[in-house]
Structure 1
Amino acid sequence: MTFDVTLAAHDVDLDVSDPDTAFRSGWAGDEDYLLAEEGDDENDDVLWALDADALRAVLAESELNLVAAARSQTVIWEFDDTAPEIPGDELVSWLARDLLDTVVAEITGASKTPPRLAYAKNLPLDSALSGEEDSCLLLVGAERTALIRVIG
């Protein structure tokens, strides 16, 4: 699995009553990752808007899926029913959180500060972990974006 992160500046003023609409109309975007529009089918290859609660939920479930995938690759967990619970001192959890904190700090200027907007495709991570489809997360800060691609 590969995590590819692209950081870029955007010139969209998000200090408006509807930052999502402002971002959609002002973001030059990436031709491979278009933002879902009204009427798009859930099977369309577009990024769907996530509110703060949905973002937290898909990130938490993605972390659980990452840990499960890591455990399935090791022999020890197959025979040990005392697996630690999340959050625990699972290396994959700490690495995933560190990656996300680093990316968020790059676009917001501070670790643990939530992005202003988020858009995703194939999250939570499950299809990318099984090698079926890539996943993507676009995080938007006041002046910068981060496009995180997870390639299974």
Structure 2
Amino acid sequence: MTTRLALAPTPATPDASHASEYGIACVSTLLSEFFRINNTDAVTFEVTFGTHDIDLTVADPDAAFRAGWVGDEHWLIAEEGDDEADDVLWALDAASLKAALIESEQNLVAAARQTLLWEFDSTAPEIPGDELVSWLARDLLKRTVTETTGASRTPPLLAYAKNFPLESVLDGEEDSCLLLVGAHRTALIHISC
């Protein structure tokens, strides 16, 4: 079976204020539809947005967000002493977030390549910068950050993650989650198989 995929510009949406969320839905649908960790199992990418009215312009925005965050039982933020808990989100500083995203992208490309048959060479080539899964993952994150922070080059104020960089989910074992917090909005990227 052969699958052919063509990328085209996003068509105009009736409401321009939702264009970014529409683009995110398109990219996450493409990743969910075509990214597989083996012959049969696809990985699902879901992005949901929320708002918050927590004042993060304080000395310790992490403490302020933790005190005001109303998560559900699936997306609780880890507290001190939660060393063994698997069902909580762990705080990431800017450097840790950047490193986790780079490694996650490499893991996505490696997982995508495992499902391919290299006919003429037993070794996989190095990761090219224009690899489709790489481009889609970067685009999904960039659009999500832009929608959360309001500016494409502004990093999220806070980030919390579960099972990042992506390894467990790509082995078909556990879900991964990334919660990005802007001044007034939140974005939850949930990746499962």
TM-score by length of 2: 0.74
1:47 alignment counterpart: 89
**Alignment pair present for 1:99 and 2:140:** yes
Q: Which amino acid aligns with 2:94?
A: A
Matched, 1:138 2:146: no
Q: Distance in 1 between matches of 2:95 and 2:56?
A: 19
Instruction: Report the equivalent of 2:60.
Output: 18
Distance 1:81 1:7, change over 3 A: same
Counterpart amino acid of residue 68 in structure 1: A
How many residues are paired up?
151
- Relative to structure 1, the CA distance from residue 133 to residue 110 in structure 2 (aligned partners, 3 Å threshold; closer, same or farther) is same
What secondary structure, in the 3-state scheme, does the structure 2 residue paired with 1:76 have?
coil
After superposition, the Cα gap between the structure-2 partners of 1:149 and 1:77, relative to the gap in structure 1 and judged at 3 Å, is farther
Please state whether the residue corresponding to 1:15 is helix, strand or coil. Answer: coil
Equivalent-residue separation in structure 2 for 1:137 and 1:114 (angstroms): 14
Structure 2 counterpart of 1:147, one-letter code: L
Q: Which one of 72, 76, 81 corresponds to residue 34 of structure 1? A: 76
Counterparts of residues 80-95 of structure 1 (less than 5 Å): 81=123, 83-85=125-127, 88-95=129-136
Partner of 1:119: 160
Q: Is the contact made by 2:113 and 2:124 (CA closer than 8 Å) also made in structure 1?
A: no
Task: Identify the residue that residue 147 of structure 1 maps to in structure 2.
Answer: 188
CA-CA distance at 1:43 after TM superposition:
3.6
Superposition deviation, residue 44 in structure 1? 3.2
Give unpaired runs (5+ residues) of structure 1. none
Kindly report the root-mean-square deviation, in angstroms, between the aligned alpha carbons of the 2 structures.
1.6
Provide the rounded CA distance (Å) in 2 between the counterparts of 1:104 and 1:77. Answer: 39
Say which is worse superposed, 39-48 or 9-18, in terms of deviation: 39-48
Alpha-carbon separation, structure 2, partners of 1:19 and 1:148: 21
* Matching residue's letter, 1:121: K
Measure, in 2, the Cα distance between the counterparts of 1:139 and 1:118: 5
Structure 2: which amino acid aligns with 1:74? L
Distance, in Å, in 2 between the alignment partners of 1:64 and 1:114 is 21
The AA in structure 2 aligned to 1:36 is A
Counterpart of 1:5 in structure 2 is: 47
Where does structure 2 lack aligned partners over 5 or more consecutive residues? 1-42
Q: Deviations over 1:26-58 (max 9, x none)?
A: 111222110000011234310000000000011
SS of alignment partner, residue 145 of structure 1? strand
- RCO comparison, higher one (Cα < 8 Å, 6+): 1
Shift of 1:109: 0.7
Q: Which amino acid aligns with 1:118?
A: A
Matched AA of 1:72:
Q
